[in-house]
């Protein structure tokens, strides 16, 4: 059986109340002798408080619900969890992770289960940056949206990647290398991420006075096979691009495949920049793929820190854009002389 506070108290010859006060540092009016005795007995017996009992009484569980659509179970964004968990750990909070698989009924059940466990706050995280509407039940406790933005920005705190900034840096990186014909392969499904990345690409083209035109955009699904087809379409045109900026790394891997089939060498004949910095992909292909990194770890930390802020200060909701740095590998070089 586990050692209870009662056991410690009895062994130390004091009441449970006294023992509780000593072990919680509320010992202003406890004699130094008693204090020492209780502490000694507690550690001798290896006493650990029952968190359930404590939480029931104090109405705070130090548990944070982490609700995600599919982060936990996919290889993409685990760093968000890591970041959040690190901060939680540091402050003696525990994360209760759960997955909804995008199913509203599961989401409802999950949120209820978490609230039944009296979580103090919640992080509502998504795999992709989009616009979300968390279940209303979460409105009753501090909730921070991670990797998305809420429909009603006044209702929830949120942190999302600075897609525009990251994409701008990527395209400028290509422009700086001397490219004037920079194409983009995008996912036409149009989540905020896609719209912002394409807007940034277009803005750089304009600002720098680079080539533009419909033959410099191709649409594809978010996988290598589809990316390869899109890249082939771009590269087989009359005046092909010398660089391609891809919506994500898997499409960029597709661009490698298309280039290889056309006898083009990367980065000599074609420069490529991806997005997401998916290490498994970026390092599986040759040369390594230069890519824009999603700041998953930082966003996870920020979300959790914001949760703590909401719990402590009772601060109001806040939004934050997190910068996306470029990770350079070997897929960018000055354009060849044609």
Partner DNA sequence: TCGATTTACTAAACCGATTTAGTTCTATAT
Partner DNA sequence: ATATAGAACTAAATCGGTTTAGTAAATCGA
Residues binding a second copy (CB under 8 A):
48-53, 55-56, 61, 72-76, 78-79, 81-82, 85, 94-99, 112-113, 115-118, 223-225, 228, 249-250, 253, 256-257, 260-261, 278-281, 283-286
Instruction: Single out the segment in contact with DNA by CB under 7 A; choices: 17-25, 152-160, 265-273, 309-317.
Output: 17-25
* Cβ proximity of 279 and 289 under 8 Å: no
DSSP letter (8 states) at residue 83: H
Look at residue 215 and give the partner it binds from a second copy, DNA, none, a contact being a CB closer than 5 to 8 Å depending on partner kind. Answer: none
> How big is the chain by its Cα radius of gyration, in Å?
27
Look at residue 16 and give the partner it binds from a second copy, DNA, none, a contact being a CB closer than 5 to 8 Å depending on partner kind. Answer: DNA
18 binds DNA (CB under 7 A): yes
277 binds DNA (CB under 7 A): no
Q: Give CA separation, 41 vs 7, 23, 283, in Å.
A: 9, 11, 55
User: How far apart are the C-alpha atoms of 256 and 267, rounded to whole Å?
Assistant: 10
225 binds DNA (CB under 7 A): no
113 binds DNA (CB under 7 A): no
Rounded to the nearest whole angstrom, what is the least distance from the CB of residue 312 to DNA in the complex? 16
Q: Which is nearer to DNA, 26 or 151 (CB)?
A: 26
Contact residue for DNA among 40, 43, 50, 178 (CB under 7 A): 50
Q: Which is nearer to a second copy, 6 or 50 (CB)?
A: 50
Interface size with DNA, residues (CB under 7 A): 29
Q: Which is nearer to DNA, 20 or 85 (CB)?
A: 20
* Cβ proximity of 283 and 253 under 8 Å: no
Q: Which is nearer to a second copy, 214 or 263 (CB)?
A: 263
Look at residue 4 and give the partner it binds from DNA, a second copy, none, a contact being a CB closer than 5 to 8 Å depending on partner kind. Answer: DNA
Two structure tokens written together for 320:
């934050």
Q: Which is nearer to DNA, 119 or 289 (CB)?
A: 119
Q: Which is nearer to a second copy, 97 or 210 (CB)?
A: 97
Q: Which is nearer to a second copy, 85 or 126 (CB)?
A: 85
* Cβ proximity of 156 and 134 under 8 Å: yes
- Picking from 124, 161, 126, the residue whose alpha carbon sits closest to that of residue 317 is 124
All residues at 6 or more sequence positions from 117 whose CB lies less than 8 Å from its CB, including other chains:
61, 63, 96
* Cβ proximity of 292 and 169 under 8 Å: yes
26 binds DNA (CB under 7 A): yes
User: How far apart are the C-alpha atoms of 32 and 40, rounded to whole Å?
Assistant: 12
Two structure tokens written together for 335:
């354009």
337 binds DNA (CB under 7 A): no
* Cβ proximity of 119 and 65 under 8 Å: yes
- Picking from 253, 214, 218, 248, the residue whose alpha carbon sits closest to that of residue 233 is 218
All residues at 6 or more sequence positions from 286 whose CB lies less than 8 Å from its CB, including other chains:
none
Rounded to the nearest whole angstrom, what is the least distance from the CB of residue 97 to a second copy in the complex? 4
57 binds DNA (CB under 7 A): yes
- Picking from 105, 138, 133, the residue whose alpha carbon sits closest to that of residue 123 is 138
* Cβ proximity of 84 and 95 under 8 Å: yes
Q: Which is nearer to DNA, 45 or 72 (CB)?
A: 45
Token pair 């992909």 is found at 281
15 binds DNA (CB under 7 A): yes
Rounded to the nearest whole angstrom, what is the least distance from the CB of residue 116 to a second copy in the complex? 5
Rounded to the nearest whole angstrom, what is the least distance from the CB of residue 209 to a second copy in the complex? 34
Q: What are phi and psi of 217, to 5 degrees?
A: -125, 140
DSSP letter (8 states) at residue 152: S
The site for DNA (CB under 7 A) is made up of: 2-6, 13-18, 20-21, 23-24, 26, 29-31, 33-34, 49-50, 53-54, 56-59
């Amino acid at each position: 059986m586990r050692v209870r506070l009662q056991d410690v108290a009895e062994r130390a010859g004091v009441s449970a109340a006294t023992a509780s006060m000593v072990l919680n540092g509320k010992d202003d009016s406890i004699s130094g002798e008693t204090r020492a005795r209780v502490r000694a007995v507690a550690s001798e017996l290896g006493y650990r408080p029952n968190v359930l009992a404590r939480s029931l009484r104090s109405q705070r569980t130090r548990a944070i619900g982490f609700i995600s659509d599919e982060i936990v179970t996919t290889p993409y964004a685990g760093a968000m969890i890591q970041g959040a968990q690190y901060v939680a750990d540091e402050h003696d909070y525990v994360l209760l992770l759960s997955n909804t698989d995008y199913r509203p009924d599961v989401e409802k059940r999950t949120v209820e289960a978490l609230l039944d466990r009296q979580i103090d706050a919640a992080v509502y995280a998504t795999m992709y940056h989009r616009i979300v509407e968390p279940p209303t039940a979460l409105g009753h406790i501090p909730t921070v949206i991670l990797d998305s933005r809420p429909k009603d920005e006044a209702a929830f705190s949120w942190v999302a990647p600075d897609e525009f900034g990251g994409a701008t840096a990527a395209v400028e990186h290509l422009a700086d290398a001397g490219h004037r014909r920079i194409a983009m392969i995008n996912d036409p499904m149009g989540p905020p991420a896609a719209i912002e990345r394409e807007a940034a690409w277009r803005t750089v083209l304009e600002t720098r006075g680079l080539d533009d035109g419909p033959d410099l955009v191709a649409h594809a699904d978010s996988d290598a096979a589809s990316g390869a087809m899109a890249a082939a379409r771009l590269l087989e045109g009359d005046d092909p691009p010398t660089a391609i900026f891809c919506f994500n790394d898997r499409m960029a891997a597709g661009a490698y495949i298309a280039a290889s089939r056309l006898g083009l060498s990367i980065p000599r004949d074609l420069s490529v920049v991806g997005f997401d910095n998916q290490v498994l992909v970026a390092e599986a292909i040759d040369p390594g793929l230069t890519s824009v990194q999603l700041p998953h770890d930082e966003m996870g930390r920020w979300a959790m820190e914001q949760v703590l802020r909401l719990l402590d200060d009772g601060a109001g909701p806040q939004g934050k854009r997190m910068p996306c740095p470029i990770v350079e590998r070997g897929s960018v070089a000055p354009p060849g002389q044609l």
